[in-house]
Chain A
Amino acid sequence: GIQVEQSPPDLILQEGANSTLRCNFSDSVNNLQWFHQNPWGQLINLFYIPSGTKQNGRLSATTVATERYSLLYISSSQTTDSGVYFCAVEGEYGNKLVFGAGTILRVKS
């Protein structure tokens, strides 16, 4: 099945810094989503981005489907950005999202 790799596994930032999280996937995808998992375990939708670029406030994402990667940019980070960020993809044959192992982000004040 499709493989999803996220990097870096851990990231510590000072408040106000910018960061880039990467998601590589091993095959063609129909669907790609970025999530933020809060301390209570809920997965919050950030982007639904099978291809192209989207922006939402301080966050933006770019997916280059032909090169099988996606990037999540966080600018001017805040302590509330801390948590785990997951990339999940739906492979070409559909049916389900396959998750990466996540990036743990810690933003210090």
Chain B
Amino acid sequence: DTGVSQDPRHKITKRGQNVTFRCDPISEHNRLYWYRQTLGQGPEFLTYFQNEAQLEKSRLLSDRFSAERPKGSFSTLEIQRTEQGDSAMYLCASSLPGAGVTFTEAFFGQGTRLTVV
């Protein structure tokens, strides 16, 4: 098991372009989370999946952001019509579920650093 894997590690794009990031969770983890981190701040929750079901997406920053996990394994995060304010580190995490709605220890990938120019 190699942990949570994210691709690409870095992405530079021009304003207005679409970008897509990929996350491969730890293999037996059925919960997957996306976070965004801007400079000097802690990570901010965006959305999460349990298997292929997206259970909370209210924190997705605008309708330009969307996430999928079609087969309950890897996930993609897409940003359409990128803006300079989208420049940030995008982090993916995975975990096992706990009792009820809770979950066990979460593990993070290396992140994708997006720069919009």
Contact = CB atoms under 8 A, between A and B. Distances in A.
Contacts of A93: 101
Contacts of A35: 108
Interface stretch (B16-24, B40-48, B73-81): B40-48
Interface in A61-109: 86, 88, 90, 93-102
A30 interface: yes
A11 interface: no
Contacts of A102: 42
Contacts of B91: 43
Given A30-B98, A41-B89, A101-B42, A90 B103 contact: yes
B106 A97 contact: yes
A66 B74 CA distance: 38
A31 B110 contact: no
Contact of A101 (B33, B41, B104, B110): B41
A48 B96 CA distance: 13
Interface residues of B, number: 27
Contact of B111 (A41, A45, A48, A88): A41
Contacts of A97: 33, 43, 45, 93, 106
Question: Which of B41, B105, B106 counts the most A-chain CB atoms under 10 A from its CB?
Answer: B106
B103 A31 contact: yes
Contacts of A101: 41-42
Contact of B33 (A33, A94, A96, A100): A96
Nearest to A1: B45
B89 A94 contact: no
Nearest to B47: A96
B42 A41 contact: no
A4 B103 CA distance: 19
Interface of B: 33, 37, 41-45, 48, 55-56, 89, 91, 93, 98, 100-111, 113
8 contacts: A31-B103, A33-B105, A42-B109, A42-B110, A45-B107, A86-B42, A94-B101, A97-B106
